[in-house]
């Protein structure tokens, strides 16, 4: 797996989850803190008339409103720990109340104290105290913390681990697929090279057999020369000349083998160039056919041109093209003035096809279409007449 992955991807997938986890925790703490601050700011003191009547102390009012707000928030269930402080402008602590029954941090399900029966003097004292505090003003301080190993913190961490595990897997799959494609392409190239090498080796074996035959012949002649040393000098010279001839043949065979190898390389390069040139020529011819077809459609509104006709027109020499276009102009203006050489095909279910001459050797094949427009089926010369008639015949059979 490691050979398909870059160090950068592995580093990011290991480094980013804890970094994003820390940043997300800090961002959520700030988000919850701003949300709670806005929500509590308007709900700390909700019933000012009850406060001024002394029915409830402002500390109890603040505590009940904070507890009520907390009970509606899902943040506590997710593990968020709020630290809320309410003071007067002079620094007097109103919340949290430092009493034995108060639990800190908040508990959303804490029961609220029931109504208490107070004497008129107590009620008046509480109202005066409430008024004094309200005149001083109240400040709210909210700090929220998302402790580690809570539901929310663990969910964020698991999310980032899963996300970057998916990124790591996708990166691995992409690299693996690219490596597999490269392996297949290399295997195909290797197979092609092996086939070419096998062909070259077969040719080399053939040449080696020829060399071996020549060498055996040389050995035989040398043996004959040694055994016939008592013969006349003329016979010996003839044998030596034959040996020299055979040696030249061996050298020629070696040169021919080298030439064949060079010729094979040259032919491979030439084949690549021819394929490239053929593709380029096909694209140029298709473009020229398209341009000529658009020009004919623009100039000759009464005619309809088959692609075979446009292609045949372009294959004509320049002087024949001028004569052919003159004929096309005449048939577009008034086909009744044309001199028809012969009717090529006619039968039931299909309109007849006519052949006309131009410039003595030129041929144009046309017919009337179902919509009344003249269709130019083919344009050529006497040399291409057989192919053009075969094409027109195939069209005629499909329509019949």
85-122 pLDDT tens trace: 888 888 888 888 654 334 444 544 454 454 555 667 77
Q: Residue 197: its pLDDT value, please? A: 85
> What is d(CA 384, CA 309) in angstroms, rounded to the nearest whole number?
12
140-191 pLDDT tens trace: 888 888 888 888 888 888 998 999 889 888 888 888 888 888 888 888 888 8
Give domain status of residue 208, yes or no: no
Q: Which residue among 119, 154, 189 closes a domain?
A: 154
Secondary structure class of 261 (helix, strand, coil):
helix
Q: Residue 1: its pLDDT value, please? A: 45
> What is d(CA 148, CA 126) in angstroms, rounded to the nearest whole number?
42
Does residue 268 have a pLDDT over 50? yes
Summary mean pLDDT of the chain: 79
Maximum C-alpha span of the chain: 164
- The mean pLDDT of 338-348, rounded to a whole number, is 70
> What is d(CA 329, CA 183) in angstroms, rounded to the nearest whole number?
60
Q: Which residues contact 108 (CB under 8 A, 6 or more apart)?
A: 67, 70, 71, 73, 76, 77
Q: Which residues contact 382 (CB under 8 A, 6 or more apart)?
A: 361, 363
**Is the pTM for the entire model greater than 0.85?**
no
Q: Which residue among 128, 154, 180 closes a domain?
A: 154
Give domain status of residue 385, yes or no: yes
Give domain status of residue 243, yes or no: no
Give domain status of residue 271, yes or no: no
Residue where the block lists tokens 């959520």: 28
Query: How many domains does the chain fold into?
Result: 2
Backbone angles phi, psi at 115, to 5 degrees: -65, 140
- The mean pLDDT of 351-365, rounded to a whole number, is 86
Give the N- to C-terminal CA distance of the chain in Å, as an integer.
65
Does residue 252 have a pLDDT over 70? yes
279 band by pLDDT with thresholds 50, 70 and 90: low
- The mean pLDDT of 232-244, rounded to a whole number, is 71
Give domain status of residue 348, yes or no: yes
Backbone angles phi, psi at 323, to 5 degrees: -65, -40
CATH code at position 394: 3.30.2310.20
Q: Which residue among 94, 123, 154 closes a domain?
A: 154
Give residue 105's domain range: 2-154
- The mean pLDDT of 3-20, rounded to a whole number, is 79
31-87 pLDDT tens trace: 888 888 887 887 777 777 777 777 788 888 888 888 888 888 777 778 888 888 888
Residue where the block lists tokens 């899963």: 162
Q: Residue 159: its pLDDT value, please? A: 92
Give domain status of residue 324, yes or no: yes
Does residue 225 have a pLDDT over 80? no
Give domain status of residue 166, yes or no: no
Residue where the block lists tokens 């301080």: 141
Give domain status of residue 161, yes or no: no
């Amino acid at each position: 797996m490691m050979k398909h992955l870059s160090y950068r991807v592995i580093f990011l997938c290991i480094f980013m989850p804890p970094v994003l986890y820390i940043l997300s925790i800090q961002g959520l703490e700030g988000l919850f803190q701003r949300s709670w601050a806005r929500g509590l700011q308007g709900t700390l003191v909700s019933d000012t008339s009850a406060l001024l009547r002394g029915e409830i102390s402002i500390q109890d009012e603040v505590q009940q409103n904070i507890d009520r707000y907390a009970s509606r928030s899902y943040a506590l269930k997710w593990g968020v720990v709020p630290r809320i402080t309410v003071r007067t402008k002079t620094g007097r602590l109103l919340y949290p109340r430092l009493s034995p029954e108060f639990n800190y941090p908040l508990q959303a399900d804490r029961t609220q104290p029931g109504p208490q029966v107070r004497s008129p003097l107590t009620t008046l004292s509480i109202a005066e105290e409430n008024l004094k505090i309200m005149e001083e003003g109240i400040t709210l301080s909210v700090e929220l913390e998302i402790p580690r190993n809570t539901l929310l913190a663990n969910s964020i961490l698991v999310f980032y681990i899963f996300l970057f595990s998916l990124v790591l897997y996708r990166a691995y799959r992409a690299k693996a697929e690219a490596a597999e494609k490269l392996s297949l392409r290399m295997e195909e190239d290797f197979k092609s090279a092996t086939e070419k090498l096998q062909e070259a080796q077969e040719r080399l074996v053939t040449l080696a057999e020829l060399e071996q035959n020549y060498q055996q012949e040389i050995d035989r002649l040398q043996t004959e020369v040694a055994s016939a040393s008592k013969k006349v000098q003329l016979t010996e010279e003839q044998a030596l000349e034959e040996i020299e001839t055979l040696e030249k043949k061996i050298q020629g065979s070696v040169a021919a083998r080298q030439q064949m190898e060079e010729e094979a390389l040259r032919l491979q390069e030439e084949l690549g160039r021819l394929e490239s040139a053929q593709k380029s020529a096909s694209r140029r011819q298709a473009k020229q056919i398209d341009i000529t077809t658009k020009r004919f459609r623009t100039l000759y509104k009464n005619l309809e041109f088959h692609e075979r006709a446009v292609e045949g027109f372009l294959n004509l020499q320049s002087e024949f093209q001028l004569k052919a276009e003159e004929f096309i102009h005449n048939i577009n203006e008034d086909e009744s003035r044309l001199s028809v050489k012969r009717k090529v095909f006619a039968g039931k279910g299909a309109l007849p096809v006519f052949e006309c001459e131009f410039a003595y050797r030129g041929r144009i094949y046309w017919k009337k279409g179902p919509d009344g427009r003249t269709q130019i089926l083919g344009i050529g010369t006497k040399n291409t007449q057989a192919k053009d008639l075969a094409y027109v015949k195939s069209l005629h059979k499909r329509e019949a």
